[in-house]
Structures are given as C-alpha cells and as structure tokens.
Structure 1
Amino acid sequence: MATQYYVGKRLSFDGQLCTVRYIGDVKGTKGEWLGVEWDDPARGKHSGEHAGIRYFQCLRDNTTAGSFIRPNRKSDTPRSFVEALKAKYASEDFEDPNVEIVFTTQPGDNARIRAEPLSKPKQSIRISGKEVEEVGFDKIRKQLAALSELKIVILDGFCMERPIARRNEGTDSWPIGLSDIKDASPKVIELDLSRNLFEEWREIASICEQLTNLRSLRVDGTRFRDTSLTVTEIARANAAFAHIKYLKLEDTLLPWEDMTRITQLFSDLTTFVASSNLYASLPSMHTPNPTIVDLSLEDNLFSTLTSLEPLTRLLNLRRLVLKSNKISAIGSTDSEPDPVFPLSLTEVDFSYNEIADWSFIDALQHTFPGLTSLRISHNPLFKSLQAPDGKAMTAEDGYVVVLARLANLKTLNFSNVLPKERLDAESYYLSLIAKEVSFAPDSDEERILKTHPRWKELCEEYGEPAIQRSSSQINPNSLAARLIRLELYQVGGKRVKIEIPKSATAYTLLGIVSQNFQIKPRACKMVWETGEWMPVASEDIYDDGEASETSLSEKNDESPAFSKVSREVVIIPGTRGVGTWIEGNEAVIRIEAR
C-alpha cells in the first residue's frame, strides 16, 4: 500500500471530490482498496457497507455516497493557491500593443508578475486599409491578468491544497514568514475557497494571514478532518481573521461544536452562514460568536425551536434564516419551556417549513418578543385554509390573518405593512372570530376565544362584533353543510322532499325528478322558485297613444306603473352542480311537463 494515503485524505477524480474513509482489504476481492465518501452523495454506490460488512461510515446517513477504488487509480493533480489563481485569472493568452506580462518565480514559490513596456510599440491592425481597435474579451483578460489588483477572488473547485500549513510533529504552528499569496494578490477583499482539497483549518488560516484587506470568506463544501489549533495557532488565526465580517461554511458537515469554535476566531464577525449541514439540534453548551448579527441555518433538519436554544444567548442577533427546515412546533413536549430569543432579533425567515397550526403563529410573539419582520410563505398551513362558514380561503387570506395575529409586524413576506393594511387585516380577523363563535354551541365560546389571544385587545380597539346564533345554524364543516334539501312538486300534483349533495349535477337531479314524477327527461322542466319578488315596469300608455308625462326612469317600486313578479330560475340539465344553481341549503323546485 502506498504510504501517501491515510484516513481523512482529500482526493479528486475527474473533478469529483471525495474523502478517504477506509484503507485495506475487502472480503471476496484481491488486493487493497480505498473506501471513499464522495462529496456528492449521488456519485457513490453504497453507504460504506459491502456484502453485509461495514467498512466505514459516511457522514450522510442513509445515503449511497461510498465507493471502493483502487489506490493506483490516478487522481486529479492538486494545485497551490497561486497555481489556482493563475489558472483562473491568467490562463488565456492576450495581446496588448504596448505591454507584455512577464511571470517570474522566486524561491519558496513566490510568484511575481510585472508588466513591461515594449521598446517598440506594435503596429496597429488594419483590415481593408482601415485601422481597428482591440476590444471585448482581450480587454477583460488584460484586467484579470493583473492579479495584484484583484479584490474579489473565486477559486471554487480548483483542487487546491496547502500541505505546507498542515500539522507537523515537533512544531506548534505552520511556517512563519510565508508571502506567496501576498506577493501574488495582496488586495483581496472577498475570497471563495469552496469545494477544494483542504483537510485542516490551519490551511485556511495560513492563506488569510497574508490578506490583510480580507472582509469576506467562503469555504463551502469542504470536508475538514481537523479544525483544532494549538495555542500559538489560535493567536495567529485571531490576527488572520481579525477583519473578516462575513463567513460562510455551507455543506461542510462539520459538527456544531467545531463550527462554534471556528466562529470564535473571528473577532469582528457579523454574518455567519451554516446552511446544509444536517443539523437537527444544537448542543446547548456550544454557542457561536456573540458578535454575530445575521445567522443563516437554512436547509437543515430542525423540527422545533427548542432545538435552537443556544441561539437565545446571541444578544446581538438581528436576523435569523431558518428557511427549508422541518420546523412544525415551538417545543417537542408540553413540559418543555418555550425558548425566548433576545429583543434584538427582529427578522426571522420560516418559509418552506412544515408549520400547519395557528398556535405556532400565536406563540411567535412570546418566543420572538422583538419580531417585526417575518417570512412565513410556503408552509402547509396556507394550503387548505377554510373560513368558519366553510368557504375556502386563499394563501393571501392566510397571510392577512397572520398579520392580524401578530401585532408588531412591520414587514410580512418582504412586503411593508401599511397602516390601512393592518386596519383591514384586524377587522377581517375579528369578523372571522365572530363567525367561528356563531357556528359553535354556546358552551364552546370560551374555548374558541382562548385560541385567539388578541380577541380582547382587538375588541377594545374596534368594538366587539355582533355574534348572531341561530338554532337552525349548522356546522359548515359537517356532512349536513354539504347537503341541500329540495321540495319537488307539480302544480295540483304530488310533492317529494329529498336531500342530495350540493355537488350533485343537474343531470342527477333530472334523473331523480324523472323517476319520481314519471316524466321523460326530455319532456321535463325544473324551475327553482326563489321566493324573491322583483319589480317590473308596466307601460302606462294613454288612449291616444302618447306616453305619460312621468318617464319610466323616474318611477320607483311603489309607483302604480310598476308591478312585482316572482323571480324564478330554470335549472338546465348539465354537469353543473346543483349547489351552483341554488343559493342556500333549502329550495322549492316546480316540475313542469313540456
């Protein structure tokens, strides 16, 4: 077995990153194997188990991220930081009429770049006798080639490693006085080192140590085997990260303990992103850097807010992103105290979770006492809303109710809340509560009002709405609410009373009528007698044929020139539901033979 392999070593094959998890024999085969876990779980074949034998454990449980490969398989060639920088920003040829770029290498792989003017300017390019100017991509390449002027450097997926900074026996830190990165690109402000072959956090620290202007650092998708530092290295790392305000460690799968230890090295950190790290709960004893103002834990596995208890100690936290988790409740048990986040936390994102209960919305005022900005869209709660009278409500109606339930909201789903919108929302919410009470028995009123914590407050603000109960009132969510009672009759003939679903088609009703009255369907006419009277103007004509002096437009319902007739609706056979023809739950239908 080649000695260059060890558990935790980072490798790349055809651009696919992996980590060595096992070295040795595999039962039923000859020779030695490397058991690797691919960064992309879809790339592997198994979970580290083969023929019933567990050889290694993948960081992602229940996935097929593992594979066995031979040690002699050729891997992608690793690059240093400077090599990756050149490959990304100075790899293409370019032409400048007066300047050529010269690369020189100093001892220690300290690359220097200089632009030297030519002794004689190149002649201009002519086409058909006309002089042309080089523009476009050549101009861009010239700018990128000036590595020493780069301020934003993105080296995502360039097979970088920095073995010179890895831990060596007998030393308490990586080498002092390295200047390779500072010499190549000293002005970097934003740096992305994601998805590379780094194995130890000290490799990252040794790079940042040379970039005194660095303010933003991304190291996503890297599987570190060691994030510990010696006392000497901690002091150097503190200085290296002293001015960085933005740190992103997405999809590293680092334990939360390691994450919090890393954040403590950044004395000026304000924004921290730890998305897609499979966190289901945060250990209470590990709190991230208290300087953090903006924290993103998007796309993890949290199901309750109590699993985020360590964050309640971040007294400077103002924004918390919990998008795309599995959050459905405040706590896991009734006996568990609800967490209370600091007053400084004003903005929370709960979109794309599993919130399905209004009690969760009501509890937010207690759990987040400083909450003024909320994103709550794309949750099950808003997919099948019903008003107390049984009518369907849209997601927008649901957001209006959220606004009314949370008194301090100033922004909802990225939209500012205007005073008129709050007035309308709270008035609408009050009417919904009144309807809910009116459809319930008197004995349920107290229980219902307890589910609406703002009831008394809103009644004091707008006045208590009238609650009208009727002995004949039925629960809109019951089976009875979905039926319609019909009285069918023929003039001078029999009368039949039936109950059918409102969704039954007019064709179905016609069949029932035909069967009960012995009338062929094609010869049957169904007329709904609405019981309403409508005025109809009569033509008041004198004997001489002239119209009366009073025009029809000036007459009212009480004028002798108006008569009243019963409003009737002919139900036409078809696939339209009976409930769409008839208003209410009862109706009288006259049957006529054509």
Structure 2
Amino acid sequence: MLSGMSLIGQRIEHATDGHRGTVRWMGLLRTNKANEAAEATEWLGIEWDAGERGRHSGNDPANPSQFLFRVKEQNSASFVKRDKLVFGRAFATAAIEKYVGSGTVPVPVSVAEKAEETERSSGLRMHRPGEDVAVELVGWDKMREKLRNLNNIHIAGLAGLGIAWIDADEDKNLKDLFPVLQDLDLSRNLFTSWEDVAQITRQLPKLDSLRLNSNRLEFLGTEPALLTSGFSNLKVLALNSTLIQWATMEQLAPYTPNLTSLFLGFNQLSSFGEKYSENSTDFPPSDIPPLFPTLQAFHLDQNNLHSWPQLCHVIHSHMPQLNTLNVSFNKFTEILPETASIFQSLTTLNISENLLSSYTSIHSLNAFPKLVDIRIKNNPVLITQPPSHATTTASTSHVSKTDDITSRLSKATRINGHAVSDRDRADAELYYLSKVAAWIHALETTANKSQEEVKQLVQEWHPRWDELCARYGRPEVAPVSATSLALKDRLLGLSFELVAGSEMDAGVLKKVEKKVPLGMTMRALRALVGRVLGVGGKEIRMRGVLKGGEGEESMVVELEEEMREVGFYEFKNGDTVQVWVL
C-alpha cells in the first residue's frame, strides 16, 4: 500500500494516455516563470518507460543547467501533477474484477472502506473495487458461483491492470482463490520490486510459468526466504522489455533453480559483464555450480549483444542442458567453429537478423553435434556474396539461397522455419554440386588459378565439396551457357509438345520450339506453354525429357515444383518438355 510511504521509486500510469513510469522526484515547483510571485505547487518527476513520452532529463525548470533527478535515457522525464497519475492496486482486486465480471461487482464493505481511506489519507487517485462501476452489496449467491469458477483457472492473463501489491487481507486467501493456476501473465503492471511479485506467487502452489514483461523491478535481496518460496517452482520466466541486466539475473538465479525457459528479449543488453571474456575461446571446466542447471531454452532476441565468445562463456558456465537458443536481432558478426563443443545439447538456433558476414560462420554450425533446426535469415553473408578471390564468372550467385544454405548445412532438418525433407536435400545438393563444379572450372580456366589455390578456395567457400562428390559423384563441367552473362548464352532452346495423355507413347498433338531463359521458374514456364500450345486456362501437367549421352537412355523428370528454375533441371538445347491436359 502507498499510504504513509514515500512515492519515490513507485510505479505509476498516466490517467489519460496509459504510459507507465517511475516516480524519481517529488517537491514544489513554480511553473509560471512570468509571475515570480506565483505560489509553488507540488509536482512529481517521472521517468517514463517509453522515452519518447518525456520532455527533459530531470532538469530544474527554474535553472535548466541543474538536475533535480537523473534518468537513464536522455529526455525521458517530465513533471506531472499527482491527480493526473494512477497508482497501483491489489492483485486479487484486479483478478476478481476481470474474471468474475464488471458492471455490478459485489465488494466486501471492509475492502471498499479501506480503499476510500487510502485515497483520503494519501491524496492519491487509486484503482479500487467499484471504481468506474456500480458497487452493490447484494447478489452474493451469484458472486460465490463466479468465484467457484476461479478454482478451475489454469492460465490467467492479468497484464496491464495496474497491479502493484498483494493486500494483507488477501494474503491468506489467495491460494484458495486460484488453487490450480499454472500460468500467470503480470506483464505491464506497476510492481516496484521482485519481493512484491513474490508475495503473490508464493500463494500460488501450482504456478510454474510467470510473465513479467514490461515491468521495472528492483532486486532488494532483503527477504531470501520470500524469494525462494515465490520463485523456486517456476519453469518459465519471461522478462522481455524490463531493462534487466545480467548481473540481476545472477542475483535472482539461486531462487529459480528449476527454470527451463528464460526470456530476456528487448532489454538493451550489450554485455554479460567483465568477468566473461569477449575474446577468449578457452573454456576450462568450471568448479562453480551452474546458475541455471535445468535451463533448456534461452531467448535473447532484440538486444545489442555482439561477442559470440562471451555468450559461449555464459552458456558453458551456467546452462549445461541448453537445447534452444534465440539470439535473433542482435549484432553478432561471427560464429566461431572452436566454440561448437560448448553446445553439446543444442538442437535449435535462431541467429536471424545479425551481422554474420562470412560463410565460415555458417559452416561452423555443422560442428554442433545435435543442431538440426536453424533460422539464419537476413544476415549480410546471405544478402551479398562478393567473391573477392575470383571473377564474377566464378560466382555461385545463381544458386537459390534456399538450395545454397540447405547444401551448406549438412544436418539441418528445418531451415528458416521450413522442413527439409530427404528429397529436398538431395535436389538442393545435386543442384549446388553442379554449380560448384562450374565455379571450380571457371577458377581453373577463366581466373587462371593453380590447383593449390583452387583447393584452398574450395575449402574456404565450399567445404562440403569432397563429401558431396563422394555421395553423388563429381558432376560434369557445366557448358558455357551455365556461367556466361551474355544473353545468348542464358537462353535455352527447348521443344514443347502437347501430347494426348500422360503415357510416354501418347501421340503428339502440337509441337512448338522456343528459347527460354535459364532463370525462368516452372510457374512462368507453365503459363508460357499454355499460351504457345493453346491450352491456357486449363489444368496441365509437364515433364522434361532430357536426352542421354551416347549409348544412354533419355531421362524423364516431373516438373512439379513451381519455384524451381529451368536451369535447375540441367536441360540442354534440343531437350523436350511434354505437356498434357488433365
């Protein structure tokens, strides 16, 4: 409760726009500069969670060069009258109002009187039972029936309800109100400390998932028994947008021994602290018990982390069971292969939207023993591919990014959210292999590289070359048209046949020869043949008949994957595409 307490450090919400902040100063200000005789009035100095809500940095209006209080983010503060602010309310009050219902919510007389007394004594506007709703002291049978429904709630969403404490009278009854509650969302409320939260959670014996996103919590550390009873059963803890630092997590760790999932996104984290090296990749066995021995999922998205070795030191020291890591939207520039041994249990990694600039980082992931699910979108290495070691003709840029990444990541069964089937992998690797063969041929001929130089470049850019050649055989060198940039060499002459049916010996009804670009997709090709063969608008199927070499039979391939390009299927001039109407 706020009555009789200093307001400094208390969390508030603006009554008009709903912005949340923290009281950093209270005192008298004379805001009418034109009238020096004007009486000074009381104001509260607020540091806003959303910095853009502020107007200054705690400067004294009468002397802007002086500060009445300090804020973390420049221009994130303003002075506000008390009556424009809403202070917190009790947990049970908010929970009953939401789940029992508003309108005519019966409230015990003692609770209503207590809220009125608090407002009178403190001069503050308070959330309380009956505010903005009719209060009546009848209908208790109906009330009891609704309260009985709370006994069956397993998931409670109480975000953004202005909750700040647990009332002393509620403390002994809360466990009876939510006896089976397992998942509680207290995001965007007005708590000031971890102890305030623990007063609530210790009364919920089944609780194992707690979301505190967008709160600002101080770790007082004055009541270890309370913190233990409040958090020791938690398995999932979400602290996104709380501006929590890793040092605070280290203080909290002894009270959360059973965590399996931890969410620390959107916290402006740039480092884990000086005791974790940002450069060393030496990971000796630790003689200190891990802080999070059961943690399996660690989410650090939308921060400013940049040191991969430092992250590895944290995981090595404190998270031996980690299998899921999300570091998307950070500033990592590399993944070092020598750190793979740290991730013995890791199966899932999201490192999208970082600054990875070298394929070495991608190839390093093959050393992670169990890693199969990888998200790696929108890193510079995938957006630009400047082959500084050879001419443009030695590039493999015409390999699709999906095929390229699939072929480089040898164990991945899911890439960027899409499952990779055995067929997908074989198709991608065969296509990739043929293009690397053309790239090597160009290095040896056009770029005039020696065998030793070629070997080094292949190891750097395509380290799976030997492995894939052993699996599928070394492909023939692609013709000039596969690597030339000249338009005449990027067109392929094909014969399009409209046949009477799906049988290979079905009669030919119409035949047209036409040149098509190697980069044309099957979807575009389907539309083209529909026009030239006069079957536009009809449902058709296509297959390619690729002529074999001397003494070899023709090869038939189904052309079903609409986003594949003509060049993927290794057509040669004079090959045939057969089309029939279903």
Shorter-chain TM-score range: 0.5 to 0.7
CA distance in 2, matches of 1:198, 1:259: 17
Q: 2:161 aligns with which of 158, 179, 198?
A: 158
Q: CA offset at residue 250 of structure 1? A: 1.0
- In structure 2, the partner of 1:261 is 251
Q: CA offset at residue 143 of structure 1? A: 5.4
Evaluate the alpha carbon distance shift between residue 210 and residue 474 of structure 1 in structure 2; reply closer, same or farther with a 3 A threshold: closer
Summarize deviations over 1:347-366 as a string: whole Å, max 9, x none. Answer: 00122333343222112234
Residue type matched to 1:449 in 2?
A: V
- Partner of 1:457, secondary structure, is helix
Verify the 8 A CA contact 1:103 1:114 in the aligned structure 2: no
Summarize deviations over 1:418-442 as a string: whole Å, max 9, x none. Answer: 2222222222222232222222222
Q: CA offset at residue 277 of structure 1? A: 0.7
Where do residues 366-385 of structure 1 align in structure 2 (5 Å cutoff)? 366=367, 368-384=368-384
Q: 1:412 aligns with which of 412, 415, 430?
A: 415
Where do residues 481-496 of structure 1 align in structure 2 (5 Å cutoff)? none
Q: Say whether 1:365 aligns with 2:363.
A: no
Residue type matched to 2:100 in 1?
A: A
Pick the structure with more helix per residue.
Answer: 2
CA distance in 1, matches of 2:171, 2:475: 75
Q: CA offset at residue 36 of structure 1? A: 1.9
Q: 2:267 aligns with which of 265, 277, 283?
A: 277
- Partner of 1:217, secondary structure, is strand
Evaluate the alpha carbon distance shift between residue 159 and residue 428 of structure 1 in structure 2; reply closer, same or farther with a 3 A threshold: same
Q: Say whether 1:192 aligns with 2:182.
A: no
CA distance in 1, matches of 2:482, 2:151: 78
- In structure 1, the partner of 2:456 is 447
- In structure 2, the partner of 1:301 is 304
Q: Say whether 1:41 aligns with 2:51.
A: yes
Question: Which of structures 1 and 2 has the bigger CA Rg?
Answer: 1
Evaluate the alpha carbon distance shift between residue 108 and residue 295 of structure 1 in structure 2; reply closer, same or farther with a 3 A threshold: farther
CA distance in 1, matches of 2:372, 2:303: 24
CA distance in 1, matches of 2:206, 2:292: 21
- In structure 2, the partner of 1:518 is none
Where do residues 134-533 of structure 1 align in structure 2 (5 Å cutoff)? 146-162=149-165, 178-224=171-217, 226-230=218-222, 233-283=223-273, 285=275, 288-309=291-312, 310-313=314-317, 314-330=319-335, 338=339, 340-366=341-367, 368-384=368-384, 389=393, 397-440=400-443, 441-443=448-450, 444-451=453-460, 452-467=462-477
Residue type matched to 2:262 in 1?
A: F
Q: 1:69 aligns with which of 69, 75, 80?
A: 80
Q: CA offset at residue 268 of structure 1? A: 2.1
Evaluate the alpha carbon distance shift between residue 455 and residue 17 of structure 1 in structure 2; reply closer, same or farther with a 3 A threshold: same
Q: CA offset at residue 82 of structure 1? A: 1.4
Q: CA offset at residue 258 of structure 1? A: 0.8
Verify the 8 A CA contact 2:372 2:412 in the aligned structure 1: yes
- Partner of 2:89, secondary structure, is coil
Verify the 8 A CA contact 1:81 1:181 in the aligned structure 2: no
Residue type matched to 1:374 in 2?
A: I
Q: CA offset at residue 288 of structure 1? A: 4.5
Q: Say whether 1:82 aligns with 2:92.
A: yes
CA distance in 2, matches of 1:229, 1:426: 56
TM-score, structure 1 as length reference:
0.63
Summarize deviations over 1:348-402 as a string: whole Å, max 9, x none. Answer: 0122333343222112234x332111012233444456896489958x9212211
Q: Say whether 1:58 aligns with 2:71.
A: yes
CA distance in 2, matches of 1:390, 1:323: 32
Evaluate the alpha carbon distance shift between residue 354 and residue 103 of structure 1 in structure 2; reply closer, same or farther with a 3 A threshold: same
TM-score, structure 2 as length reference:
0.64
Residue type matched to 1:346 in 2?
A: T
Verify the 8 A CA contact 2:438 2:483 in the aligned structure 1: no
Q: CA offset at residue 65 of structure 1? A: 2.2
- Partner of 1:277, secondary structure, is coil
Evaluate the alpha carbon distance shift between residue 190 and residue 474 of structure 1 in structure 2; reply closer, same or farther with a 3 A threshold: closer
